[in-house]
Structure 1
Amino acid sequence: MAAILGMAAIGAWALMTERIAYVVTSGISMNPVYYQNDLVIVMKADSYHVGQIAAYHGDVPGQRVLHRIIGGSGSAGFVLKGDNNESIDPKTPTTEEMIGRAVLHIPKGGTWLKPFLGPSGIGMLSFLVISGGAATAARNRREIPRGRRKKKVKAMSRQGGSLETAAAVFKTVQRLPPALRGGAYLAAAFLALAVLLGVLGWMKPVVETREVAAPPRQSLTYSYSAKVPKSAAYDGTTVSSPEPIFRRLTNNVDLVTRYEGPPGTFDLSARLTNGTGWHTTIQLVDEVAFTGSSYEATAKFDLKALVARADAASTAIGTSSSGSVSVALSARVVSQGRATLSAPLTIEVTPVQMVLGGNSKLTTESAGSAGTTVVPREIGILGLTAAQARSYAILSLIAAGALAAIVFLIARRAMPLRTRAQIERRYPQLLVHVEPMASPPGKPIVNVDNFPALVKLAEKYGQMILTWRREDSDDFVVRDEGITYRYRVPLDRPELLDIEHQNRPATAGSHRRKASSPVS
């Protein structure tokens, strides 16, 4: 029992800390190493290397992928691939994200494991625990003498019903010593907890589909402005988008990019081309992280410098310069849980002016839409997921079974021994079978109330227990210093029991005189 409890404790610790897990294979990705419904035990490791078969969590909640490591590293992420797959896995888990490496393979083990994980699994385990107690009771009934059994059956037939049975069990538990009674109550509590968690965990799947609200709106808006001298070209001294900017008046432009939406990172780049096939990219704003619901960045444009850069490229490749350049702006925002928001904008710079390119929009939006997602099912009243409830149900059932077994074994050792068979099973090493012996004349005989007391006397005096069978009883005797200590068990033969019942003395005094008579 100590070994079983130790193994159960180690297994419970391993499962709770996720040091050990299992994978039931599905599909053909790992043929011919693993096949459909194989059971693979995996163990958490501090490091992994190329060639090992390891498991990691898939994109779907509760999914476990078991493939071989073919590259990568623990910090940057491992590259995995099924032996029977042509492509590598899209996910690259790190060492911390790994479930564990394969340590044990049980072909078709998942076939017999699945019933225990199904809706009826917890109920079957509970039935086995309860039926074990019923089997013990049936075995005890077989040890009762036939005459007594008939009387007991008649008494039980008058009780009938589950309520009476429950009351009888409760009374039996009430008669146990306080420590055992507390253990029995604790085992019942664990069993009730296992049933509760099992019902809540298995009544529905471990995952559920939930409605997802529309994500927050995102927008990127460009605007530009320039200071110009007072002239007939403009009504004022400031030019703003989307008006063209005439280069004869100014070549300096301020480009402002404003973002509205969830926080994240922002960067802005510009790609220059001049129609000759040449291009180059300029980073206007390096990637920067920001908090809050808005962010604004300003980049200064020197139109003369941009055209000069394009003209220099034309001279280098041996083509004539047109004095024009096309600027393709690209602002990007990356927010957690959202797709990257990119906002393109084309600006054409000619020798005369700067204008927006055709079909260019100053504002780019991403409103998003409501949808659904698959998430682990949660049990609101307990604050657990369904998968956790299932694990705790199994652990509670193991604890209930272990406690019940301990209480039963200890209580059974404390039960009074009423038959020779029970005594021989319990103390075979102390018994010596002899022919019936007469007690020495004039020597006292002490009748012992129970057999354990006789065992203590035998151990005290260093004697074996002598036993023989008489016509009406089994005698167990310890002799020391002229005193005979005797424990007598009526012989379990119904005809003798009936005779004994008919010839029983009418008074307690005569009964005592008969019990204290010398052995003949």
Structure 2
Amino acid sequence: MAAILGMAAIGAWAIMTERIGYVVTQGVSMNPVYYQGDLVFVMKADSYHVGQIVAYHGKSPGQRVLHRIIGGNGSTGFVTKGDNNESIDLLNPTTDEMIGRAVLHVPHGGIWLKPLLGPSGIGMLSFLVISGASATARTRRDIPRGRRKKKVRAMSGGQSGSWATAAAVLKAIERLSPALRVAAAISAVLLVLALTLGILGWMKPLSVTQATKAAPAQSITYSYTATVPKSAAYDGTTVRSPDPIFRKLANRANLTARYKGPAGAFTLTATLSNDIGWHTTLTLVKKTTFTGDTFDATVPLDFADLVARSDAASEAAGAGRKSQVLVDLNAAVTSAGLSDLAAPLQIGVDTFRMAAATDTKYTTEAAKTAGAEVVTQREITIFGHSLMTASQARSDAVLLLIGAVAIAAVILFAALRRLPLRTRAEIERRYPNLLVQVEPMASPPGKPVVNVDNFPALVRLSEKYGQMILTWRRPDADDFIVRDEGITYRYRVPLEGESTLQNVDFINRTTSGPHRHEAPTQAS
């Protein structure tokens, strides 16, 4: 029982961690090792080497390639090739991209696996597991031909023989040990999961065609303003981009970068440089997360300070004062699911004025992309949450079904062994070493005869008192008895298929202590 539960736990772990998978071969690329329709189980490994046959995901959704490694390594990618192919594969899967290496080959296994995993095949398997059809066949084989019709009529009682057998199997399962009941629960859970994943995986194709949405509009626009006194140089007292700012009238300006588009994170930097090759980068706006569809960042520009930085660097390098500096502004926005948007702007500052470079674009927009149709693997979702791909659902359904059927077969075998023994043939087959054929004998006068309700109870009495089970045939029944110090314990199998003797619940008392004065009796 521990082994069964351990196997179930190992199988569940292997499925959940994707340590085990399978491939149904197609084509002739691996002849003569594998042929069309073969079933190959693969197991994920920590490393692979040249010469191994491995499986990996192909280009098409749900495609699995099963070829041999002929070169390469796990970090940069293996070189693979079909044994019957002349050219190598185009893809070079790494160790992490491998599904696994071949560990078990079932010739033509994929031919019967395909219909078995269809909706009708899965339904038939579940019916066979639940109904216990094999129990019916075994019971019918053990009943002699002359008594079969009477047996069926006696068991029917208004319902079909298959229902009676199913009821008997269920009663036998109820008498199983707690460990087997736990195994039965595990088998039922695995079967339900296999049916669910099988239906979800096979109800639609592996791949779907989806239309991608067009990327939303994004833009960053620069502008600057400065306040100047009234003069002939300007029409008013405010200078706005793209007009130059004459430093004699204004030595400061406010720079604004406006973003429009989906929410994200904004940064603004400025790189200062001059003609001797000096440069330095300043962070004007640190990374700032924002919500909404617009964001404005305004920073002051001190022209005298920018020129002073450039002159100090030139004098330190021995080039003298240059009094001219280039300012390369770069605003960047990062939004989830979209490409980063960067907007450059170059302005020049000298002793005379501040102005943007020629042909400068004050507005930068993200590239507009139209919606397109792409083929992707179909996802299985519940309440909007993606669980797995349809390909993975099919693989898991197969492994879960195999596990459920294996555990159910063991439980069914145990249940069948606990079914009541109704014929001499069944008893002789199961307990040949305890039986002794004797001539019919009468019960000792004045000694009680106790009728037990099932043969296993008689076996336990035989083992308890160290007695063989005596048996003989009567015209109307087969008798099996155990005698102990004057008390006769009897189990009778009537030929009519229906017991007319009184069934006594006796074994619970006899197996735990003295019994002679507590046992109900019946005249021989």
State the TM bucket, normalised to the shorter chain.
Answer: 0.5 to 0.7
In 1, Cα distance between the equivalents of 2:155 and 2:318? 109
Q: How many residue pairs get matched? A: 467
1:232 positional shift: 0.8
Name the counterpart of 2:8.
8
Would the alpha carbon gap of residues 486 and 248 (structure 1) be closer, same or farther in structure 2, given more than 3 Å must change?
A: closer
Q: Structure 2 CA distance, aligned partners of 1:242 and 1:377?
A: 52
Give ranges in structure 1 of 5+ residues lacking alignment.
72-78, 492-496, 501-506, 509-514
Structure 1's 358 and 455: CA in aligned 2 closer, same or farther, altered over 3 A? same
Once the two structures are TM-superposed, the CA of residue 143 in structure 1 deviates from its matched residue by 0.9
Q: How does 1:171-320 map to 2 (within 5 A)?
A: 191=191, 194-205=194-205, 208-261=208-261, 262-270=263-271, 272=273, 274=275, 278=277, 280-285=279-284, 287-293=286-292, 294-302=295-303, 305-306=306-307, 309=310
Aligned to 2:78: 82
Tell me the distance in 1 between the aligned counterparts of 2:264 and 2:322.
42
1:82 match: secondary structure: strand
Residue aligned with 2:330, SS = strand
Compute the displacement of 1:83 (Å): 5.5
Report the counterpart of residue 134 of structure 1 in structure 2: 133
Relative distance call for 1:314 and 1:187 in structure 2 (3 A) is closer
The residue number in structure 1 matching 2:455 is 451
**Whole-angstrom CA distance in 1 between matches of 2:431 and 2:107:** 44
* 1:417 counterpart residue number: 421
Query: How far does residue 380 in structure 1 lie from its aligned partner after superposition?
Result: 4.4
Q: CA separation in 1, counterparts of 2:59 and 2:90? A: 17
Partner of 1:42: 44
SS of match in other structure, 2:242: coil
**Maintained 8 Å contact 1:443/1:482:** no
What letter is aligned with 1:267?
Answer: L
The range that moved more, 324-333 or 307-316, is 307-316
Which one-letter code corresponds to 2:379 in the other structure? R
8 Å contact from structure 1 (residues 311, 323) kept in 2: no
**Residue 109 of structure 2 corresponds to residue 106 of structure 1:** no
Amino acid corresponding to residue 484 of structure 2 in structure 1 = D
List aligned pairs for 1:373-388, cutoff 5 A: 374=376, 377-380=379-382, 385=387, 387=389
Shift of 1:222: 0.9
Q: Give the whole-Å Cα distance in 2 for the aligned partners of 1:474 and 1:153.
A: 19
Residue 415 of structure 1 aligns to a residue in which SS?
coil
TM-score by length of 1: 0.65
- Residue type matched to 2:449 in 1? V
Once the two structures are superposed, the pairs formed by residues 311-330 of structure 1 within 5 Å of their partners are: 326-330=326-330
Range with greater deviation from structure 2 (171-180 or 142-151): 171-180
Between the aligned partners of 2:305 and 2:404, the Cα distance in structure 1 is 84
Change (3 A) 1:127 1:383: farther
Whether the aligned pair in 2 keeps the contact of 1:269 and 1:330 (CA below 8 Å) is: yes
CA RMSD of aligned residues (A): 5.9
User: Which residue of structure 1 lines up, in the alignment, with residue 331 of structure 2?
Assistant: 331
Q: Residue 370 and residue 64 in structure 1: after superposition, are their counterparts in 2 closer, same or farther (change >3 A)?
A: same
Name the residue aligned to 1:480: 484
The one-letter code sitting in structure 2 at the alignment partner of 1:258 is: R
CA contact (8 A) 1:311 1:322 kept: no
The offset of 1:489, in angstroms, is 4.2
Structure 2 residue identity aligned to 1:264:
A
The aligned residue for residue 357 of structure 2 is 357
Q: Secondary structure at the match of 1:137?
A: helix
Residue 4 of structure 2 aligns to a residue in which SS? helix
Say whether the 8 Å CA contact 2:314–2:322 is kept in structure 1: no
Q: Distance in 2 between matches of 1:467 and 1:150?
A: 26
Which of 459, 462, 481 is the matching residue for 2:466?
A: 462
Give me the whole-angstrom Cα distance separating, in 1, the residues matched to 2:327 and 2:307: 9
Distance 1:253 1:89 in 2: 57
State the SS of the aligned residue for 1:422: helix
Amino acid at match of 1:120: L
CA 334–24 in structure 1, closer or farther in 2 if over 3 Å, else same: farther
- CA shift at 1:341, angstroms? 0.5
Identity of aligned residues (%): 41
Q: Deviations over 1:136-169 (max 9, x none)?
A: 3222211110112356789999x9xxx9687656
Aligned to 2:439: 436
Offset, 1:115:
7.6
Judging by fraction of residues, say which structure has more helix: 1
SS for the counterpart of 1:332 is strand
AA in 1 matched with 2:451: V
Shift in Å at residue 441 of structure 1? 6.8
Measured in 2, the distance between the counterparts of 1:382 and 1:11 equals 28
Aligned counterpart, 2:117: 120
Q: Is the 8 A contact 2:438 2:470 kept in 1?
A: no
C-alpha contact 2:272 2:280 (8 A) present in aligned 1: yes
Question: 1:340 and 1:112, CA in 2 relative to 1: closer, same or farther beyond 3 A?
Answer: farther
User: Are residues 108 and 166 of structure 1, via their aligned partners in 2, closer, same or farther at CA, if it must alter by over 3 Å?
Assistant: closer
Structure 1 distance, partners of 2:302, 2:60, is 48
Q: 1:75 is matched with which residue? A: none
